[in-house]
Structure 1
Amino acid sequence: MSLDGAVGRRDDPPAGNGSGNGAVSAALPTGRPTYGGRPTYGDRRLRLNPNTEHKPERYDDLETEFDASLFSSLERHLPSSMLEAPRDSKVQFMKEIIARYLSDGERTRVQRHKEYRQKIMSAYQPLHNELYNMHPATFFVPSFVQAINENTEESFRSIMSEPSPGVYTFAMLQPTFCGLLLDEVENFERWVNAVKFKIMRPNTMNKYGAVLDDFGLEATLNKLMEEFICPISKVFFPEVGGSTLDSHHGFVVEYGKDKDVELGFHVDDSEVTLNICLGKQFSGGELFFRGVRCDKHVNSETQPEEIYEYSHVPGQAVLHRGRHRHGARATTSGHRINLLLWCRRIFDKDVLKLFL
């Protein structure tokens, strides 16, 4: 099987020269603001590894083309001496770093997407407002909530199966939540058709479905990642920074008659992927897995022990590395809708080394 044309992980920026001490310089132009009589930026060094104990400030109110999650993520890499600085000073420092990281073209793309999202959210009326805030007791099955509350490898393994190395399955969503989310997606699609609004599809491989973040569910999904997926990923996916996941792409995909039928062999643009079947009635659509590969060997042969097929069950989750090669068999009857959360790290070590 070949992955040519498949959705690939985003390109990694070229690495700089690391100092090996867990911090990197953020050398910026002169004439910098100061606080407390000291330079705010010039003698500061970014942390190479994020401070996972630090809770970043909220940046949702910023009037900027950059997404708030970008600032929250980068704040965890600020040196401890800057964490107590006024928020305006931190924002200015981080803006200069982000401006160096993003090209003019990328900043334009970010701004256009922000305007696109604002246009949707200013006009779309949600059907189920309770979906737009996290309610664990009504969203998740009790066994999942208990495992997260205990927050140990033993508690996670007690609710999980690992039918193939690196592929974890477990009951997660309540049927009522699945129904509410399906209703919300259908309501959004009716609105899109009624106002003839052209929406962005989830990715280049799926022609049907919707990006949940674009119509207001970003905060809910961010909590899902930070408070429920990160603790699990810290245990099972430490090699891809499981505890330092700091951004996501949340969407639904649809399969069936007059929809997408199958999904080709590919890897995801994520560090960790959560895939949950929401329903409805359907046949087929099995996921097939073929092992984890790096970019250089992504099309290499599959070993017998790497072959695994998974049949979807509404409310049940599959968790795996984004680099775990997989695809979806044809949905032969009915209508299948899945929720996917691509969990990512915005600032990995190679990116941070650019600021030496």
Structure 2
Amino acid sequence: MSHLKTKKFYVCSCFFYKNIFLKDYALHVEYEGDDKFIAQYESVFTQKYSVNLEKLKQEIIPFVRAEIDKRRDRGKLCLERCMYIEQNYKPLHTQVYTLDPRFLEPAFIQIVNYCKSAGSTKEGLLSLIKKEAPGRSYSFPVFTNEFCKLLVEELEYFEASPMPKDRPNTMNNFGLLLSEVGFDLRFMDPWRIEYLVPISRLLYPDCCGGSLDSHRVFIVRYKLGEDLDLATHFDNAEVTINVSIGDVFEGGDLYFGRMSQDGTAGLPKDYKWYKHINGTGLVHRGLQFHGAAPITSGTRYNLIMWMRSSQLRNKLCPMCNSAPQLEESIGYGDGFML
């Protein structure tokens, strides 16, 4: 992460007590002490999940506390893993760590070149991409099938290695943080800056699509016996791109609902499913509720980048909907900058 020496990014303090996901209950909770947690959630667990007070105290609250401790230690442990991996890991396919235009579909390069051209407009861009879910979700080809194959092979090789690994978040128990493996400097940074920001500038000017100055990028993996689906949620991002990189699976379609500002995660009557296509990216507002249906066979890999704008989130944290209370972090943090 030496490329970040000239910039310092932060997290909002709400990261340490809000949006903690309990997978067994498909429920996001917040924690500000045992007594407050019990007062806030006891009726939910007893009435909806038949969980008694003893189990709440002995199992659920300790799990929540452990997650908070993990978040507190995230920066230090991340740096330790990064240093160890950099010094000890020998990649299978070294070429996939550097963005090469040959990895990109010609149609994607055409779209980006249009977005960078003088006089480009949103209307002109929409003639080159496909509108998907309700709201402002769009798809377009990104990576070649050959690159997807090489990347999946590299990911599986790393997964089988003894290298230390952290998982993307509490919702995904399988997958990898690509910044820790060494993808940021030569691949993800230029992909965001040179290719994705020009597209976002036209599609999402109202959420600072042209000033996406940081990201969190990770791989999610779904297969039988592991994670199968994804509960309805929204992302800690201004703009998200989700690229399918593994095509040997069935099921796992995505669905999209309302924006989180609407105050409910429920799906509108006109919600729409999105079916993954290998190498194709789906771009959408991070704050749009979405989820994934269960996978029924094979293994699904997706590369997901949460793109953030410090210009926007310095004024309002999208996770607590308040002025951010900043705490120091490492790398790109959660995209806040002083």
Q: TM-score, normalised by structure 2?
A: 0.69
Instruction: Select the residue among 291, 294, 299 that pairs with 2:264.
Output: 299
Q: Tell me the CA shift for residue 158 of structure 1.
A: 3.1
Residue pair 2:216, 2:307 contacting (<8 A) in 1 also: yes
Corresponding residue of 1:189:
159
Match of 2:145 among 153, 175, 195: 175
1:182 counterpart letter in structure 2: V
User: Do the aligned partners of 2:256 and 2:267 also contact (CA within 8 Å) in 1?
Assistant: no
Q: What residue in structure 2 maps to residue 218 of structure 1?
A: 184
Q: Is the contact between residue 159 and residue 171 of structure 1 (CA under 8 Å) also seen in structure 2?
A: no
Whether 1:140 and 2:93 are equivalent positions in the alignment is: no
Aligned partner of 1:53 in structure 2 is none
Report the CA distance between 1:130 and its aligned residue. 1.4
Q: Secondary structure at the match of 1:299?
A: coil
Would you say 1:251 and 2:218 are equivalent positions? yes
Q: Does 1:129 align with 2:98?
A: no
2:78 is the counterpart of 1:110:
no
CA deviation after TM superposition for structure 1 residue 112, in Å: 3.6
User: Is 1:239 aligned to 2:209, yes or no?
Assistant: no
CA distance in 1: counterparts of 2:212 and 2:205, whole angstroms: 10
Residue 70 of structure 1: CA displacement? Answer: 3.3
**C-alpha contact (below 8 Å) 2:235/2:287 kept by paired residues:** yes
> Is 1:69–1:247's contact at 8 Å kept on the other side of the alignment?
no
Deviations 1:105-141 (A, max 9, x none): 99975344222211122111112121122212x1111
Amino acid in structure 1 at the alignment position of 2:85: I
SS of 2:155's equivalent in the other structure is: helix
Q: Residues 211-251 of structure 1: CA distance to partner in whole angstroms, max 9, x if unpaired? A: 11111101211111111111111111112111111111111
Q: Give the secondary structure class of the aligned counterpart of 1:350.
A: coil
Runs of at least 5 residues in structure 2 that lack an aligned partner in the other structure: 11-69, 317-322, 327-337
Change (3 A) 1:108 1:206: closer
Q: Which runs of 4 or more aligned residues in structure 1 lie more than 6 Å from their structure 2 counterparts after TM superposition? A: 105-108, 351-356
Is contact 1:69-1:246 (8 Å) kept?
no
Partner of 2:2: 60
Structure 1 position 170, deviation (Å): 1.1
Structure 1 pair 353–281 and aligned structure 2 pair: CA distance change class (3 A): closer
Matched, 1:315 2:285: no
Note the C-alpha offset of 1:165.
Answer: 2.5
- Does the 8 Å contact 1:178/1:278 carry over to 2? yes
Gaps of 5+ in 1: 1-58, 62-66, 74-104
**Which residue identity lines up with residue 279 of structure 2 in the other structure?**
G
Q: How many residues align?
A: 254
Q: Deviations over 1:57-92 (max 9, x none)?
A: xx936xxxxx4473499xxxxxxxxxxxxxxxxxxx
Aligned-residue sequence identity (percent) comes to: 32
Structure-2 residue corresponding to 1:70: 7
Number of the residue aligned with 1:13: none
Does 1:290 find its partner at 2:257? yes
State TM-score, norm by structure 1: 0.65
Contact 1:70–1:346 (Cα < 8 Å) also in 2: no
Pick closer, same or farther for the CA change 1:141–1:200 going to 2, 3 Å.
same
Answer with 1 or 2: which has the greater Rg.
1
